Structure 1
Amino acid sequence: MSVRPLDGPTPRQMNVPLVTAATLRQAGRHPVVPFRIALDDGRVATVKRLLRVLPGKRLVGEAEVGGQAVLAKFFIARRGCARHFEQEREGIAALAAQAIATPRLLGAGTLDGGHYLLTEFLDNAENLADCWQAALGAHPGDIGAALGVLSPALKTLGRMHARGLAQSDLHLGNFLRQRGVLYAIDGDAIRARRPGLSLGAGDALRNLAILLAQLPRDADARLPDLLADYHAGNPDISFDPALLRREVARVRSWRLRDYLAKTLRDCSLFHVEQRRDRFVSVVRHEAERLARVLADPDLFLAAGCLLKGGGSSTVARIDVSGRKLVIKRYNIKDTAHALSRFWRPSRAWHSWIEGHRLAFLGIATPQPLALIERRFGPLRGRAWLVAESCDGPHLLQHLDAGREPPPAEARALRELFAALHRERISHGDLKATNLLWNQGAVKLIDLDAMRQHASIAAHAKAWRKDRARLMRNWPEGCALRGWLEANVPPS
């Protein structure tokens, strides 16, 4: 397939603005599409929609060149764009040279102030990350039934390793599936360490662990099946399962730390605003919808349906464009309380971090959407947390003390406490009113005292306190408390 040169722009294209790399840099996160951009060979690419934007650095989009649909990547950073352009081109070439399916390179060159690269556009291709999530949704509670989706990716990765290639940004989103063929993409992250020769066992193990660390922990029990798929592509290598498990655990810990750091800085996932008088972090795709709430959270709090008033916090359910949310203000009770809180992260800050920790670990909690802190330079004052509303009843309302939980609730409770125990997480105030039954899951709320412990001993001590607090919700000798005693890990 080749790109046919244009004889000239059509009348429709003449109405599309012609931009430069400098224009795209200045547009930041929001370049206006469609746009046209001149290529160094005299052709013009018309970009119809953007698929990814790294502000001021790189854009990826569906484009048309010479009447043909292409995937266009524009490298526009003031510094370093030539290096990333070359890495992308070399990565695509390395995949093709080792017979790993990847979209064909159709063109590459310079822009006015940047570089471009055109590859085959895989129409109606499925992102493997989306396929995996759909498979999990179709088989709730049965991860084994979803693992078949991963088999082609593991085989492809095995083949890459057998041919001396590694993927430094390894995730399911870097595989596309079209008409039964799996394509590896993102040449910029391909490293040809030993072209044509197998990677060493250590390099292969570390690279494989990056992919496995992104799967739910339930998948760890299926490691033999996952390795069988990998060995189908790379049969001449073997791993020590204990070493692989340790490396997967290390990568998981690193990924969690990296994600939590992102919740507090401006990036593709979160919009962060920091001034002398306030700090705001909001899930980026929610920023526009929540703009008025962020500007005056107390106005919405006062107009909402009050759920809890006075004392240490005020909580209300609010309506934003027809969507139910909850806003919680962490109050400053008096001067002494203010002085004790000035130098520490607010309780809203802790709840924000811990809510995202739980979500990252796959533990059910209402999604935290925004954090707002009033600041006085380095000092912190009143703070607010905005989260999704969870309309389900708490467990004191939902469960009958005289009976064991129904099957769905029993499964959800076992999964919740097993996950918390496995991750060494203590809640700090495990009242039944902080456990909500909603959409087939038990969701944790009120997270400002939650902690993930590095020490087994520290976690065991905190866990015993949590467990005892949970049991006190129901009288001794009742059927529900007996079931909890038997099913909640003791320490």
Structure 2
Amino acid sequence: MSLITDLRDAGREPPVPLVLPLAEGEARVLRWLRILPGKRLVAQVEVAGLVRLLKLFIAAGAERHCAREASGLRALQTQGIATPELIGEGEIEGGGRYLLSAYLTGAETLQQRWESLPARQPGDADALNLLGQALSLIGTMHHRGLVQTDLHLGNFLYHEAQLYVIDGDAVEALSPGTPLTPAQAEGNLAIFFAQLDPEWDELCELLLIGYLQHNPLALNPDRLAAQIKRVRQRRLDDFLGKTLRDCTQFSVKHSWTRFAAVVRTEYQRLASLLAAPDDALAGQTLLKDGGSSTVGCAVADGKSVVIKRYNIKGFGHWLTRFWRPSRAWHSWLAAHRLQFLGIPTPAPLAMIEQRFGPLRRRAWLLTEYCPGVDLLHHLGKDGLQLPDEHTAKALLHLFAQLAQARISHGDFKATNLLWHQGRVVLIDLDAMQAHRSESGWRRCWQKDRQRFIRNWPASSPLAVWLEERMPEA
């Protein structure tokens, strides 16, 4: 078999060390940086004593994908946009193609710099500065007729005070040397802004100041806002689909008797819990032991994990559940939806369904443990005290986020909201709904609103305060 066939068959674990024959000399793989199984590999390599970046295209159509990547990089270079130097390209026996480029030692993506910020809240000075750097470079690209169709912070590389654009495969020269039209620019900017939490949307005009200095265009703010909303919804739908299939972010295993989805970076840490979740619950002090669900804590690699088992109470109950996605499945998707939208909830780690072919039985959901105190205790059961400034701000912010996203919780009692590290965290998402129908959301949000206020005595100061401030349906 050829080397390329071996790399295709290696899946997510290509061998290292490995030596690849290139026209520029033998390339010794130092480490794999990105792996798309059977499709594309990115590695840090050593060639003739120098460290380089190697992109290997190993799928069918490798020549076409390689040519598109090289074309995008050359378009950047031609228009004077900084991108790592393309050093070589060629063919590897067995149907593979490669690109060899400069390796920028010590470089960070803007995504890495973003994640290292102490705060990423709208209006934070450091966050604004970082986004402004990206938008200034996007403005330069647009002014010179280029777009990056996969526009996210991970495709900008910061090295020695210089910002580079990477991923030539997604670079298109729509009008080389000539500024884009406003509609073209808005469509591309929407891709960038849709990556941010919705609460950043109000700051779009402020963020665009740096962009407009490099590409003075008459943008239409209403049209841009509508584009952002559409792109964000499309990204959300795509992301939720990924949570249920094997991909870079998620490990999904499906057999006749079991369906399991796990955040890939958590797979090794959770391996023993995934193999036998009930064993982990046995002997533990349970957080809840009801008929419909059992909830307990376990420790994995020194960190607490919440395990929630959704029980089948009997044959009659099973008849109502076996033909539809389990509550664990529903909660898994609901938690990922909230995280995508920047709404606080314990991180979903894994979901398991016990099956008999297409028929569903018991199910489990594993999430990170949140040690916060529930709002019934944090605010007081008697409703005589109003929330302090920080709690009030966080609580009203959560309500606004849910209203903006048209999400209803379905069981909005105070014990399902936790106060933790200055934020209100949503738990118990079994009945959560994301509404496409405005009338459906208004009806369900009104129930949520009434249920939350009913946690405290009618006419108590807290109940009155909430009645005045919670968003109306």
Instruction: Give the counterpart of 1:174 among 148, 151, 155.
Output: 155
Q: Which amino acid aligns with 2:409?
A: H
1:275 is matched with 255
Instruction: Give the counterpart of 1:261 among 241, 249, 257.
Output: 241
Instruction: Give the counterpart of 1:441 among 420, 423, 427.
Output: 423
3-state secondary structure, aligned to 1:305: coil
Q: 1:351–1:53: structure 2 CA closer, same or farther, 3 Å change rule? A: same
Question: What are the superposed Cα offsets for residues 261-295 of structure 1, whole Å, 9 maximum, x if unpaired?
Answer: 10001110101111111111010111122122222
CA distance in 2: counterparts of 1:141 and 1:149, whole angstroms: 12
3-state secondary structure, aligned to 2:186: helix
3-state secondary structure, aligned to 2:246: coil
1:250 is matched with 230
CA distance in 2: counterparts of 1:427 and 1:143, whole angstroms: 29
| Aligned residues between the structures | 469
Say if 2:383 is the partner of 1:422.
Answer: no
Instruction: Give the counterpart of 1:36 among 12, 19, 32.
Output: 19
1:206 is matched with 187
CA distance in 2: counterparts of 1:142 and 1:40, whole angstroms: 50
Say if 2:368 is the partner of 1:388.
Answer: yes
Question: What are the superposed Cα offsets for residues 330-357 of structure 1, whole Å, 9 maximum, x if unpaired?
Answer: 1111111101111111111110000000
Residue 140 of structure 1: CA displacement?
A: 4.6
Alignment of 1:36-435 (within 5 A): 36-41=19-24, 43-77=25-59, 79-113=60-94, 114-135=96-117, 137-138=118-119, 140=121, 142-143=123-124, 146-235=127-216, 237-400=217-380, 401-435=383-417
| Residues 197 and 340, structure 2, Cα contact 8 Å, conserved in 1 | no
CA distance in 2: counterparts of 1:139 and 1:66, whole angstroms: 42
1:484 is matched with 466
Q: 1:140–1:164: structure 2 CA closer, same or farther, 3 Å change rule? A: closer
Q: 1:51–1:229: structure 2 CA closer, same or farther, 3 Å change rule? A: same
2:8 is matched with 25
3-state secondary structure, aligned to 2:286: strand
3-state secondary structure, aligned to 2:45: strand
3-state secondary structure, aligned to 2:42: strand
CA distance in 2: counterparts of 1:304 and 1:365, whole angstroms: 23
TM-score (norm 1): 0.93
Residue 363 of structure 1: CA displacement?
A: 0.4
Paired-residue identity, %: 52
Question: What are the superposed Cα offsets for residues 276-328 of structure 1, whole Å, 9 maximum, x if unpaired?
Answer: 11111010111122122222111112133311113110111111222100101
Stretches (4+) displaced over 6 A: none
Question: What are the superposed Cα offsets for residues 64-96 of structure 1, whole Å, 9 maximum, x if unpaired?
Answer: 11111111111111x011111101111111100
CA distance in 2: counterparts of 1:355 and 1:487, whole angstroms: 26
Q: Which amino acid aligns with 2:438?
A: I
1:12 is matched with none
Residue 478 of structure 1: CA displacement?
A: 2.3
| Residues 144 and 222, structure 1, Cα contact 8 Å, conserved in 2 | no
> Structure 1: where are the runs of 5+ without partners?
1-18
Residue 34 of structure 1: CA displacement?
A: 2.8
Residue 231 of structure 1: CA displacement?
A: 1.4
Residue 55 of structure 1: CA displacement?
A: 0.6
CA distance in 2: counterparts of 1:368 and 1:422, whole angstroms: 22
CA distance in 1: counterparts of 2:364 and 2:132, whole angstroms: 44
CA distance in 2: counterparts of 1:291 and 1:131, whole angstroms: 31
CA distance in 1: counterparts of 2:225 and 2:267, whole angstroms: 38
TM-score (norm 2): 0.96
3-state secondary structure, aligned to 2:15: coil
Q: Which amino acid aligns with 2:72?
A: G
| Residues 122 and 200, structure 2, Cα contact 8 Å, conserved in 1 | no
| Residues 431 and 473, structure 1, Cα contact 8 Å, conserved in 2 | yes
CA distance in 2: counterparts of 1:145 and 1:177, whole angstroms: 15
CA distance in 1: counterparts of 2:313 and 2:62, whole angstroms: 53
| Residues 143 and 219, structure 1, Cα contact 8 Å, conserved in 2 | no
Residue 106 of structure 1: CA displacement?
A: 1.1
CA distance in 2: counterparts of 1:145 and 1:414, whole angstroms: 25
Residue 145 of structure 1: CA displacement?
A: 5.1
Question: What are the superposed Cα offsets for residues 357-394 of structure 1, whole Å, 9 maximum, x if unpaired?
Answer: 00000000011111100111111111110111111111
Say if 2:435 is the partner of 1:453.
Answer: yes
CA distance in 2: counterparts of 1:134 and 1:323, whole angstroms: 21
| Residues 163 and 194, structure 1, Cα contact 8 Å, conserved in 2 | yes
Question: What are the superposed Cα offsets for residues 23-71 of structure 1, whole Å, 9 maximum, x if unpaired?
Answer: 2222111123232211135x11111111110011111121111111111
Q: Which amino acid aligns with 2:413?
A: K
CA distance in 2: counterparts of 1:213 and 1:171, whole angstroms: 9
Residue 139 of structure 1: CA displacement?
A: 5.8
CA distance in 2: counterparts of 1:440 and 1:362, whole angstroms: 15
| Residues 435 and 443, structure 1, Cα contact 8 Å, conserved in 2 | yes
3-state secondary structure, aligned to 2:247: coil
| Root-mean-square deviation over aligned CA pairs | 1.5
| Residues 20 and 26, structure 2, Cα contact 8 Å, conserved in 1 | yes
Residue 172 of structure 1: CA displacement?
A: 0.8
| Residues 122 and 203, structure 2, Cα contact 8 Å, conserved in 1 | no
Q: Which amino acid aligns with 1:265?
A: R
> Structure 2: where are the runs of 5+ without partners?
none
